[in-house]
């Protein structure tokens, strides 16, 4: 359906939307109707086997919700997710367990993601226990996952608990725990944002290598443009629940098309002293995601907005072979 | 010119169940008048403890074990508590990391600013009202919104309020602890621009605590790099970032992804910072340093003299130019 997409992606979202009801208030008894929050709004995306895609956006843009929808951790309000061509919405029982083995989440905060009372060995074997994998193979599979994330063999973690490990080691353990099920697809939500710079590079390198050696499809959710540039071949930019731009990472960062992407790139300080930074081409704050948005969600902050932008919601349309943008002006 | 603040051999210790931990161990630096000094390092390096020592708001389990902090000719550490309390906010003010939590949710924002001006600044109600409006204007907020409550403001706007509050009484020194860390990139940039503009206009003297080298590059004139409770390098920001003389800074330069230039492979610094309850002998970076010699593991190198120039705490600082060339090779940092 779209330019640059092959016929059978591993995972595909079609018209995916998620609305959250705003919490009940006293004014409800007077029959005041409160609009829902449109966290994710008619998102189409696809990821091929072995491909690494970045999902870039600011807090509250819906990027984490999108990741959770793709893994069926929550159910969509509208639309569907196809995994290997089959919809995941009505998976249940054994079929759902089989899906969970193939699609895994890597958590953001390694200090919270592991049960403090489980030894490292138990934490790594737990997914195998939960999915009913033959216990005779557990140790081998755990060893394999540890080797994949470049950690020493299990014997070195004998009897150790999470608090005895460093942040960088913990984040590798969290990644190994996702890999132990030999998934085909992982969602990594801000995978290194809790780590210090000097250890971050090690985890990023492991993620890059694991993906290419195992042929994993991966969605990296991040607000960090430099990280996305380092790990992802293709990037999606999200704003107020919608994808506003999509393209090969290098091109998208070098020549952004959407005014929002341009502002994002312009905003990031670089680690050089002589930096010449133009004033920010953006105004105000993110609009409210409550209520049905009319027109372009970015128009109030956009320096280029036209009258048309308030009337008509721009749809993602192809620009060249591999890029797409949702903007009337481009 | 006399620096605004002169910190000498500061030692801060925490009492913990595992014994006394020396979080800051002999830190010396100065804050020149009208300059922004970046205090940079990874989590646990002691940068926030240094900032809190200067503002006098250390955790109850911490104590300043030694050192001097000369501010306007007086040592803050030896001064009676009343003097220190009197200085607070009037002379030394503070911009917290999370302005979300530092404003009282049940009072109007204007009221909170006016309270500082009346109670601490001795202004009348009418003067305070006018000054609050000026402050709002200064940080790019609409004075028409002074009567709103904190929840009506976005994160970036609240951070602007925190900056306005810190500037309310024209302090001689502003300490900002990770002022943009909790914010999104675009808002982050807006706040950095506010700080930069105000610093130029009011020639503020400031300590900016951060873990982000890019923020240091964007705002600061001088940078102090901490590692495991000690200063490893300090000097003019340009020198430290472009021609680092400490292997730790050289290593960091390869370790984070960049938005511009070629995408080169990132090279991590193997290992992690030491446990401060039992720090290694000698140089604290030595266990992770690819250039370490035998003496690095035995001979202490803790004290840095602070002239106006740059200084580095490394036994091999004489060879810095050669080491910097070798540090660019990924192979140098591979664990053996």
Interface test with A, best of B260, B263, B277 (most A CBs within 10 A): B260
Q: Verify whether the Cβ–Cβ distance A197 to B42 is below 8 Å.
A: yes
For residues B79 and B10, give the distance between their C-alpha atoms in angstroms, rounded to a whole number. Answer: 15
Measured between alpha carbons, how far is residue B225 from residues A76, B50, B310 in Å?
48, 12, 11
State in Å, rounded, how far the first CA of chain B is from the last one: 48
From the list B175, B173, B170, B204, the residue with the least C-alpha distance to B34 is: B204
For residues A252 and B319, give the distance between their C-alpha atoms in angstroms, rounded to a whole number. Answer: 42
ipTM of the complex: 0.79
Q: Verify whether the Cβ–Cβ distance B214 to A271 is below 8 Å.
A: yes
- pLDDT means over runs of 10, chain B (336 residues): 91 92 93 95 91 90 94 89 84 83 90 93 93 92 92 88 92 92 84 90 94 91 94 93 92 81 80 88 93 91 62 90 91 82
Judge if pTM exceeds 0.90.
no
Q: What is the pLDDT of residue A36?
A: 80
Q: What is the pLDDT of residues A279-323, one digit of tens each?
A: 776 666 666 666 556 889 888 888 888 899 999 999 999 999 999
Is the dihedral angle over the CA atoms B48, B50, B53, B59 positive or is it negative?
positive
Q: What is the pLDDT of residue B302?
A: 61
Pairing type for strands B311-312 and B74-75 reads unpaired
Mean pLDDT of the residues in chain A: 88
Q: Verify whether the Cβ–Cβ distance A198 to B257 is below 8 Å.
A: no
Q: Verify whether the Cβ–Cβ distance B256 to A271 is below 8 Å.
A: yes
State the Cα torsion B124-B126-B131-B134 to the nearest 10°.
180
Q: Report the number of secondary-structure helices (H) and strands (E) in chain B.
A: 11, 11
Q: Does B85 touch chain A (CB under 8 A)?
A: no
For residues B127 and B142, give the distance between their C-alpha atoms in angstroms, rounded to a whole number. Answer: 18
State in Å, rounded, how far the first CA of chain A is from the last one: 21
For residues A236 and A62, give the distance between their C-alpha atoms in angstroms, rounded to a whole number. Answer: 12
Collect all residues of chain B within an 8 Å Cβ-Cβ radius of residue A298. Answer: none
Q: Which residue from B156, B189, B255 is facing A269, i.e. has the nearest CB?
A: B189
Strands (E), B126-251: 173-177, 206-210, 222-227, 230-236
For residues B30 and A301, give the distance between their C-alpha atoms in angstroms, rounded to a whole number. Answer: 42
Q: Verify whether the Cβ–Cβ distance A229 to B265 is below 8 Å.
A: no
Whether the Cβ atoms of residue A115 and residue A123 lie closer than 8 Å to each other: yes
Q: Does B61 touch chain A (CB under 8 A)?
A: no
For residues B23 and A216, give the distance between their C-alpha atoms in angstroms, rounded to a whole number. Answer: 42
| CATH label, A11-25+35-325, candidates 2.120.10.30, 3.20.20.70, 3.40.462.20, 3.40.50.300 | 3.40.50.300
Residue with tokens 């995941």: A88
Q: Does B145 touch chain A (CB under 8 A)?
A: no
Q: What is the pLDDT of residue B114?
A: 95
pLDDT at A170 over 70: yes
Pairing type for strands B36-40 and B206-210 reads parallel
Helix (H) or strand (E) holding B222, with range, is strand B222-227
Whether the Cβ atoms of residue A150 and residue A206 lie closer than 8 Å to each other: yes
Whether the Cβ atoms of residue B4 and residue B172 lie closer than 8 Å to each other: yes
Which pair of structure tokens corresponds to residue A207? 């993620």
Collect all residues of chain B within an 8 Å Cβ-Cβ radius of residue A265. Answer: 259
B296 phi and psi, to 5 degrees?
Answer: -65, -30
Whether the Cβ atoms of residue B103 and residue B71 lie closer than 8 Å to each other: no
Distance from CA of B121 to the nearest CA of A (A): 32
């Amino acid at each position: 359906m779209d330019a640059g997409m092959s016929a059978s992606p591993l995972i595909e979202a079609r018209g995916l939307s998620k609305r959250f009801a705003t919490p009940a208030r006293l004014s409800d008894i007077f029959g005041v109707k409160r609009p829902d929050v449109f966290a994710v709004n008619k998102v189409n995306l696809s990821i091929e086997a072995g491909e690494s895609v970045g999902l870039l956006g600011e807090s509250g843009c819906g990027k984490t919700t999108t990741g959770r929808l793709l893994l069926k951790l929550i159910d969509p309000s509208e639309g569907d997710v196809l995994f290997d061509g089959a919809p995941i919405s009505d998976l249940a029982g054994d079929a759902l367990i089989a899906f969970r083995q193939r699609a895994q989440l890597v958590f953001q905060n390694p200090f919270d993601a592991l049960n403090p009372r489980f030894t490292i060995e138990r934490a790594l074997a737990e997914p195998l226990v939960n999915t009913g994998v033959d216990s005779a193979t557990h140790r081998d599979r755990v060893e394999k996952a540890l080797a994949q994330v470049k950690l020493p063999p299990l014997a070195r973690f004998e009897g150790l608990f999470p608090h005895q490990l460093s942040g960088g080691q913990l984040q590798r353990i969290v990644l190994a725990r996702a890999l132990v099920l030999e998934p085909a697809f992982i969602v990594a939500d801000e995978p290194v944002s809790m780590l210090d710079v000097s250890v971050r590079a090690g985890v990023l390198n492991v993620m890059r290598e694991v993906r290419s050696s195992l042929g994993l499809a991966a969605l990296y959710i991040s607000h960090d443009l430099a990280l996305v540039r380092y790990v992802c071949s293709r990037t999606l930019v999200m704003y107020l629940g919608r994808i506003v731009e999509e393209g090969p990472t290098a091109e998208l960062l070098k020549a952004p098309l959407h005014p929002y992407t341009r502002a994002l790139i312009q905003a990031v300080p670089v680690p050089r002293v002589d930096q010449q930074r133009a004033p920010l081409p953006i105004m105000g704050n993110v609009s409210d995601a409550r209520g049905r948005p009319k027109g372009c969600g970015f128009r109030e902050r956009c320096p280029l907005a036209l009258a048309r932008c308030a009337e008509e919601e721009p749809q993602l349309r192809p620009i060249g072979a591999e890029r797409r943008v949702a903007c009337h002006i481009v | 010119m006399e620096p605004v603040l002169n910190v000498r051999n500061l030692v801060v210790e925490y009492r913990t169940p595992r014994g006394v931990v020396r979080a800051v161990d002999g830190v010396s630096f100065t804050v020149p008048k009208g300059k922004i000094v970046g205090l940079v390092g990874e989590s646990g390096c002691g940068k926030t403890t240094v900032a809190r020592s200067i503002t006098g708001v250390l955790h109850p389990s911490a104590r300043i074990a030694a050192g001097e902090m000369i501010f306007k000719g007086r040592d803050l550490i030896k001064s009676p508590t009343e003097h220190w309390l009197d200085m607070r906010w009037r002379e030394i003010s503070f911009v917290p990391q999370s302005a979300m939590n530092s404003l009282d949710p049940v009072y109007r924002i204007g009221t909170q600013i006016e309270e500082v001006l009346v109670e601490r600044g001795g202004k009348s109600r009418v003067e305070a009202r006018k000054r609050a409006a000026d402050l709002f204007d200064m940080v790019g907020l609409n004075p028409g919104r002074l009567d709103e409550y904190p929840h009506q403001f976005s994160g970036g706007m609240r951070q602007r309020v925190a900056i306005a509050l810190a500037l309310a009484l024209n302090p001689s020194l502003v300490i900002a602890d990770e002022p943009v860390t909790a914010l999104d990139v675009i808002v982050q940039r807006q706040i950095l621009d506010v700080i930069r503009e105000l610093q130029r206009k009011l020639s503020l003297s400031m300590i900016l605590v951060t873990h982000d080298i890019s923020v240091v590059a964007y705002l600061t004139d001088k940078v102090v790099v901490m590692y495991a409770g000690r200063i490893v390098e300090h000097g003019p920001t340009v020198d430290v970032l472009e021609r680092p003389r400490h292997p730790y800074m050289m290593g960091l330069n390869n370790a984070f992804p960049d938005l511009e230039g070629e995408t080169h492979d990132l090279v991590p610094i193997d290992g992690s910072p030491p446990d401060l309850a039992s720090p290694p002998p000698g140089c604290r970076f030595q266990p992770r340093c690819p250039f370490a010699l035998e003496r690095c593991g035995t001979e202490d190198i803790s004290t840095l003299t602070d002239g106006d120039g740059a200084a580095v705490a490394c036994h091999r600082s004489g060879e810095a130019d050669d080491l910097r060339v070798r540090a660019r090779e990924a192979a140098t940092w591979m664990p053996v």
